Each structure stands twice: as C-alpha cells, then as structure tokens.
Amino acid sequence: MSSFWPLLRKEIRALFSSPIAYVLIAVFLLVMGFSFAATLFLTKDATLIQMFFQASVLFLLIVPVITMRLFAEERRNGTLELLLTSPVRELEIVLAKYLASLSVIVAMLAPTLTYAVILVLYSNPDLGPVYSGYVGLLLLASGLLAVGLAVSAFTANQIVAATVSLGIFLALWMVDSLGSLLPDPFDQIVLNASLLAHFTPFATGALYLSDLGFFLALTLLGLFLSVRALERR
C-alpha cells in the first residue's frame, strides 16, 4: 500500500485542479443555501429534513459529472495503460479514485453544517434527524460514486458514462413507485432496490441496519465491478 497514498494525493489534486469541482460545489451550495433560507422563512420549522431530500436529488445529478471523467480522462491522456502496468494494484487505483471523488462530496457538505449551527443558535431543533441525515447523505453519495465509477470503468466516453450513470441513479430512485403496482412478493423485492426508500429513514431521523447494509453493499458492488473492469483490460 506504499504506492496508494501518492496515488490518492494525485487523484485529489487532479479533481481539485479542474474548475469542474469548484463549479459543482458552488452550484450545490447556492441551491442548498436558497433552499434552507426559503424553507426556514416559509415554514418557520427548525429542521433540515427538506434540505436533505433536495441534496439527495442534487447528488443524482452531480455524481455522474464527478465520476464520468475519472477513467475517461486517463484514457484520453494515454495514462491508464501506464497506470495499469505500474507496480500498483487495480484495487488501489479504484480506491484512490473513489476516495478522491468522495472528498468532493465532503467539500460540498461541510459548509452546510453552518445550517445546523444556525438552527441550534436560534431555536431548539431535534438533532437526531440532523445527525442521521448527514450520515444518510454520505452513504447515498458513497453508493452513487461507486456505481458511477464502475460505469466509467466500463465505458470509454465521458458523455456515455454520465448518461448511463444518471439513468441508473434515476431508475433506482424512482423504482419504489413501480413496486406499488406489482403483486406480492415482487413489490417488496423492487422496494428493497429503491434508493429513496432506504434514504428516507436517515433523512427523518431513523437508523436501520438494513438501510445501512444496503448502501454499504451498493458501494462494495460498485467498487468490485470497477476492479473487475480494470482487470479485464
């Protein structure tokens, strides 16, 4: 693992040397700031639940933009083959890119902690949903990034990778509405694949091991597929 940390630093530097990361962070914070202020003034309710749901939808749109270029950029620059022939394992390459992209998500969420501070200073909010909501957002982003990374590893075009990732995310987000139309036990099977169904308890202050396990399994599946995609090359 001695080569992992330099590789991770290289990936983080590559992401934050591009204006894309800063544009995405700025757009996210602008939308979240407006949403927080509007919700607070209109409802007079000291809660971040609405913001968590809006942030989760934004992640569906933002994550494909982050992950689409992780492997496509290496292919375009001709450095992917060089990287694969260097003394570094495929797992280390995937983990470095995954953690680097996760750092962008953390940079997006960190400033929004000021919203929770504002609520604590000027009201008496229930902090349970605040804690679980941020945990849920990190788990959701983790799963989306892993899946998006896998799609990027299997495709050679950035636009194709972004489009396929977005399609998968939207399908997994809205699949619970299809489950209500299916007979038992198919409705439960479809519901168990829903991102929205597993994220909602986190946003509303409930923590279940089944929801935690779902996002961890989704993350591990995406990372596994990414490694397999590199091993095939």
Residue 73: pLDDT over 80: no
Mean of pLDDT values over 172-198: 79
Count of structural domains, the chain: 1
Share of the chain above pLDDT 90, in %: 59
State the Cα–Cα distance between residues 216 and 233, nearest whole angstrom: 27
- pLDDT at 115 (0 to 100): 93
**Neighbour tally for 130: CB within 10 Å:** 21
- SS3 label, residue 4: helix
- pLDDT at 182 (0 to 100): 66
Residue 1: pLDDT over 60: no
Residue 21 carries which side chain, given as an amino acid letter?
A: A
Q: pLDDT tens-digit profile of 133-171?
A: 999 999 999 999 999 999 999 888 889 999 999 999 999
Residue 27: pLDDT over 60: yes
- pLDDT at 2 (0 to 100): 65
State the Cα–Cα distance between residues 203 and 134, nearest whole angstrom: 8
Q: Which of 35-44, 59-68, 89-98, 200-209 has the lowest mean pLDDT?
A: 35-44
**35 secondary structure, DSSP code:** H
User: CB-based contacts of 216: which residues, under 8 Å, 6+ apart?
Assistant: 139
State the Cα–Cα distance between residues 189 and 184, nearest whole angstrom: 9
pLDDT greater at residue 21 or residue 176: 21
Residue 35 carries which side chain, given as an amino acid letter?
A: S
- Rounded to the nearest integer, the mean pLDDT of the chain is 89
Q: Any idea what the Cα angle at residue 52 is, between residues 41 and 50, rounded to 5°?
A: 35
Residue with tokens 């636009």: 159
**Residue whose C-alpha is closest to residue 168's, from 61, 56, 55:** 61
- pTM metric for this prediction: 0.93
First to last CA, the chain: 22
- pLDDT at 166 (0 to 100): 96
Q: List the domain range (segments joined by +) for residue 32.
A: 4-231
- pLDDT at 233 (0 to 100): 65
pLDDT greater at residue 151 or residue 178: 151
State the Cα–Cα distance between residues 146 and 208, nearest whole angstrom: 21
- pLDDT at 177 (0 to 100): 76
Q: pLDDT tens-digit profile of 111-138?
A: 999 999 999 888 888 888 999 999 999 9
Residue 59: pLDDT over 80: yes
State the Cα–Cα distance between residues 162 and 19, nearest whole angstrom: 18
Q: Any idea what the Cα angle at residue 220 is, between residues 12 and 222, rounded to 5°?
A: 70
Share of the chain above pLDDT 70, in %: 94
pLDDT greater at residue 213 or residue 180: 213
State the Cα–Cα distance between residues 166 and 60, nearest whole angstrom: 7
Residue 77: pLDDT over 60: yes
DSSP class per residue in 92-131: HHHHHHHHHHHHHHHHHHGGGHHHHHHHHHHS---HHHHH
